[in-house]
Amino acid sequence: MLDTLLTTLIREMQNDNTEGRRSEARTVTRRFLRSVARIFVVLNIEMTPATNKKKRSVIHFSNWELSARKLARIKSDKIHTSQIRV
């Protein structure tokens, strides 16, 4: 299907017989190429891995978890582990 479209666009751009057809084919080809480039950029942006997401570091203790932030608070405040809410 794409091959047929490209062949038609190329053939019409080389057409000297019909007046105005060559300029119209150039316009259509430019629009097509802009659309393809736009789709390519969108797909490239969507497929790149997200590096700006913060990963939450978690330490597992039997059936409950402590985040790195809570652990830092424990260390700085000298809170006893029985006082921590999960």
CA dist 19 → 26, 74, 80 (Å) = 13, 81, 87
pTM: 0.51
Kindly report which listed range (8-17, 36-45, 47-56, 69-78) carries the lowest average pLDDT score.
Answer: 69-78
Tell me what percent of the residues of the chain surpass a pLDDT of 70: 57
Name the residue with tokens 């932030």. Answer: 69
Domain chopping of the chain, boundaries: 2-47, 56-86
Residue 65, strand partner residues: 60
CA 6 to chain centre: 27
pLDDT grade for 43, boundaries at 50, 70 and 90: very high
Tell me what pLDDT residue 46 has: 86
Q: What is the pLDDT of residues 49-74, one digit of tens each?
A: 766 655 555 555 544 455 566 656 65
